[in-house]
Amino acid sequence: MNERNRNYPEWDDNTYYTGPTEPPKNRGALVAMLLIFIIFLCGIVTVLGVLNIRLFQKLNREDPSQELAISFTTEETTSETQAPEATGEDREAKPAVHAGCTMDLQAAPKGVDTVPEGGGLSLQEIYAKNIPSVVSISCQSSRGTASGTGVVLSADGYLVTNYHVISGAQEITVLLTDDRSFTAQSVGYDAVSDLAVLHINAQDLTPARFGNSDSLRVGDTVVAIGDPLGVEFRGTYTNGIVSAINRDVSVNGRAMNLIQTNAALNSGNSGGPLINSYGQVVGINTMKIGAFTDKSGVEGLGFAIPSATVMEIVNQLISQGYVSGRPWLGIKGENFSSFYQRFYRVPAGLYITEVQPGSPAAEAGIVAGDILTRIDGESVSTMEALNNLLYAHQVGDSLSLVIYRAQGQATVTVTLTENKG
């Protein structure tokens, strides 16, 4: 065909033809993605709306029988405070009380330095001497299964471990190194020191020998025995040194005075022994500090409760089931985020999730859903702040608490009682 006879459109003087245009792009995929995003966003809004409604109902309940026995004054606060995740005062059924067992500390061998050169026991001797005194602990609860380690206190079945190992347990099973298994009974526990005493119906156990942690020096050789990651690795043996003594570490809002070590500790080591070069238990391993970054992981920061503290707490738990002098308020709570503060126009404070029956808080008329804003003039927005203020007082002290609920704000006075477990 002649080039001149092709079917070009007619041009006018003001039109420039650029050839056939490209077909329109398919926008179906884009529309579908947009619809999916909108549905996802609606789902998030719905969930947040349900949570907001529930919280709003708690904040605005109208139950005259639960009102504070004082008049309220209206006050709006817009200060913003953020805090760590919720913790609470632990108070469960009072455990059985036992007698006839006490824990004593042994001195280091006379005439031998704390860090002997070529003296003391070999690592193999330390392990052989202590492994019969180490037990594996498995706990069943509504949350699932938790595991830890324990140390034999007496030949007739008394054991010590960490409180956080057995906290909330519905059934506690103890596995000995000879593979015998027993159901354990809680004798007593102390959440403040993170210690608990258990008892099993067993005889002829090998009790550990406890040394005096006050004699430790930085640089002393220590070893740890435990069940890192559970029973599958029970009896794992690691060694290191005392990295620091009298180290203050904040644990769930409480300052604990601990031994720091670089002996490897992992989940499951909790409640196990930290042992000196003479084969004496000088601490109960309780925690480690780690990091979750890829390039700057933290290692060698393990901590143990000194044996001097363990002896003081354990002897009280065995004799009476609780530690004397622990002040008790009787509430559990969580931080009230700045988002909810602005959304509901409520003050910053600790949102109370539970008030334990018969507690000083309950007797003062405080109920779940209240917001605790101040104690003796000090701002409170976390359980850490609450515990720090609480444990700075003694049983019998009176505290002034500022409480907010839907009706307004009020001040109540509570008298701390003894926490008897």
For 202, residues 6+ apart whose C-beta sits below 8 A from its C-beta are 156, 157, 176, 180, 182
At 122 the three-state DSSP class reads coil
The encoded tokens of residue 268 equal: 């499951």
User: CB of 368 within 8 A of CB of 58?
Assistant: yes
At 311 the three-state DSSP class reads helix
Give the single-character DSSP code of 365.
T
For 233, residues 6+ apart whose C-beta sits below 8 A from its C-beta are 227, 268
Question: Which whole-number Å values give the CA distances from 218 to 20, 38, 121, 415, in the listed order?
Answer: 85, 60, 19, 42
Q: How many CB atoms lie within 10 A of CB 311?
A: 18
For 172, residues 6+ apart whose C-beta sits below 8 A from its C-beta are 137, 138, 139, 140, 166, 183, 184, 185, 186, 198
Q: Could you give the residue numbers annotated as active site? A: 164, 194, 270
At 362 the three-state DSSP class reads helix
Closest CA to 225 of 242, 208, 213: 208
CA pair distance 211, 306, nearest whole angstrom = 10
For 126, residues 6+ apart whose C-beta sits below 8 A from its C-beta are 223, 275, 277, 279
Beta bridge partners, 257, equal 248
Q: Is 59 left (phi over 0), alpha (psi -120 to 50) or beta?
A: alpha
Closest CA to 288 of 315, 273, 311, 269: 269
User: CB of 353 within 8 A of CB of 86?
Assistant: yes
